[in-house]
Structure 1
Amino acid sequence: MDNPMLPPLPDMILEPLVRAALMEDLGTCGDITTRSVIPADRRYAAQLRAREDGVISGLQIAELAFRLIDPGLQIRSLSRDGDAIGAGAVLMEIEGAAAAILSAERVALNFAGRLSGIATLTAAFVARTEGTRTRITCTRKTTPGLRLVEKQAVLHGGGHNHRFSLSDAILIKDNHIAAVGGIRPALRAVKSRASHMIRVEIEVDRLDQLAEVLNEGGADVVLLDNMDSATLCEAVAMNGGALVLEASGNMTLERIGEVAATGVDYISSGALTHSAHTLDLGLDF
């Protein structure tokens, strides 16, 4: 899933996340095991390796973790975020103070393993859409505080990003509709109050609701929630290309190909970020 057009995030944005993780791990007294066992002048070389196949994400963060502990470490990255790699691949080489490498090891691996797992699962979802127009996108079901990097991992896996926060776009969900008294009142309220610069998405779970949205106007995107594939095909036909259609709800890897074949524009899945397997990475001296 190598994507040379996807630039890295600025280190100044990532640094607070990595610094907080290091502070959590170092506690009040630092790495007392390493300090007790490893001589301060001991130098070593280590390799960050993949222990299973996958798509890499989080190498930029892993490198930052090592540099925050010791800016003097010599680091050479042999892969890039977004690369598909095989088991045994050497992703990064780190040389310098052994104590610094050991103190940063767990934070670096935690980030890189977690984010690589997301990228790997996303790539598997994307592969199931091959030959269709459908794009895979994530949701806001992310780890609190880590949304930015988890969504970046989705991009590394070849997926696309949904909104990053409640302030990015208007997404009228079923509870909004229930609270305001229906689809029409919800859309009319948005048309009267929202900025013309903001895109509007509305959730429906029945075809009669989709018809209501199409008749009322005011939406750019319709989220088709928990519809079976036959109903999704009907929704695509009803829409006739008028609005962007996003299918969501129970989007398992096994079902993605069938849903993509219905002609929806997007498939969103919270599983990309909340249920991804952590890719097995290790640091070997």
Structure 2
Amino acid sequence: MLQLSLAEDLGPGDITTLSTVDARLAARAQIRTREDCVLAGLAVFDPLVAAMIARGKPDEEAESLKMTESAGDGSRLVAGDVACTIAGTARALLMIERTLLNLIGRLSGVATMTARFVDAVASAGASTRILDTRKTAPGHRVLEKYAVRCGGGANHRTGLFDAILIKDNHIAAAGGIEPAIRRARIATLPDIKIEIECDSRSQVEEALEAGARSILIDNFAPDAVRAIVE
């Protein structure tokens, strides 16, 4: 994914930087926040530099780049705070700048939004965890789920392979909630989590009778969710 991110921006080379900036010129840059946020994405710096070096000349100039963190991923920053300082050749800085900022900006946005929900349930005194979904940007799932953790949230399933989530189409195809849960239990290992999505109170009751241990309550108003939980 990092190679693709670099390739779509650099292509065969940054023709502006390579034609105007001396290869020997050293430079230093700081990444500062423009608004209050939860920081996420500094962890991609070393892998991104490695991916850039692997592209060969002239991108291998990225080997000159070194980052000094002023705050770690998951830190809560206010506008104007310095997240990190990066030193190296001016050409390498200019070539990696946009890809790095895109990743840090997006991941910090995910972490910041997650933290808002985490704070909201905490202020209400609820013993509730905020979980994520699979609705991530293509190719960015691992990074965006990392950002959720930076914001204090927890990861739900990574994909279609590490947990079973029985949804309405599965229920219809299996012939009902009970047979869907029964088939899932027969077909999977004991350590695979089985969860079922319900969109009515009657479905929740049926799922509980069928032995469901985890239920996703879909499109319920807060009061309706509260009534079911109680």
Alignment TM-score, normalising by the size of structure 2: 0.90
- How many Å apart are 1:134 and its aligned residue? 0.8
The higher-RCO structure (CA 8 Å, 6+ apart) is: 1
Answer whether contact 2:64 2:92 (CA < 8 A) is retained: no
State the one-letter code of the partner of 2:8.
E
**Residue 40 of structure 1 pairs with residue 23 of structure 2:** yes
State the one-letter code of the partner of 1:189.
R
2:37 corresponds in structure 1 to 54
**Residue 231 of structure 1 aligns to a residue in which SS?**
helix
Q: Which structure shows the bigger proportion of residues in helix conformation? A: 2
Give deviations 1:73-92, integer Å, cap 9, x for gaps.
23211110000011111111
Percentage of matched positions with identical amino acids: 47
1:65 corresponds in structure 2 to 48
Give the whole-Å Cα distance in 1 for the aligned partners of 2:218 and 2:14: 48
- Structure 1 residue runs without a partner (length 5+): 1-16, 238-285
Q: 1:234 aligns with which of 208, 227, 230?
A: 227
- How many Å apart are 1:66 and its aligned residue? 4.3
**Residue 26 of structure 1 pairs with residue 10 of structure 2:** yes
Q: 1:79 aligns with which of 64, 71, 79?
A: 71
Distance 1:39 1:139, change over 3 A: same
Give the whole-Å Cα distance in 1 for the aligned partners of 2:18 and 2:44: 24
Deviates more, 1:48-57 or 1:224-233: 224-233
Q: 2:131 aligns with which of 92, 116, 137?
A: 137
Q: 1:179 aligns with which of 173, 180, 183?
A: 173
Give the whole-Å Cα distance in 1 for the aligned partners of 2:213 and 2:219: 20
Alignment TM-score, normalising by the size of structure 1: 0.74
Deviates more, 1:118-127 or 1:208-217: 208-217
Distance 1:169 1:74, change over 3 A: closer
2:146 corresponds in structure 1 to 152
Give the whole-Å Cα distance in 1 for the aligned partners of 2:4 and 2:100: 12
Q: 2:217 aligns with which of 215, 224, 235?
A: 224
In angstroms, what is the RMSD of aligned CA positions?
A: 1.4
Give deviations 1:204-238, integer Å, cap 9, x for gaps.
11111111111121x2201111112232122113x
Q: How many residues align?
A: 219
- How many Å apart are 1:61 and its aligned residue? 1.1
1:249 corresponds in structure 2 to none
1:275 corresponds in structure 2 to none
Distance 1:63 1:193, change over 3 A: closer
Answer whether contact 2:130 2:153 (CA < 8 A) is retained: yes
- Structure 2 residue runs without a partner (length 5+): 54-61
**Residue 88 of structure 2 aligns to a residue in which SS?**
strand
Deviates more, 1:65-74 or 1:189-198: 65-74
Give the whole-Å Cα distance in 2 for the aligned partners of 1:166 and 1:66: 31
Q: 1:211 aligns with which of 194, 205, 221?
A: 205
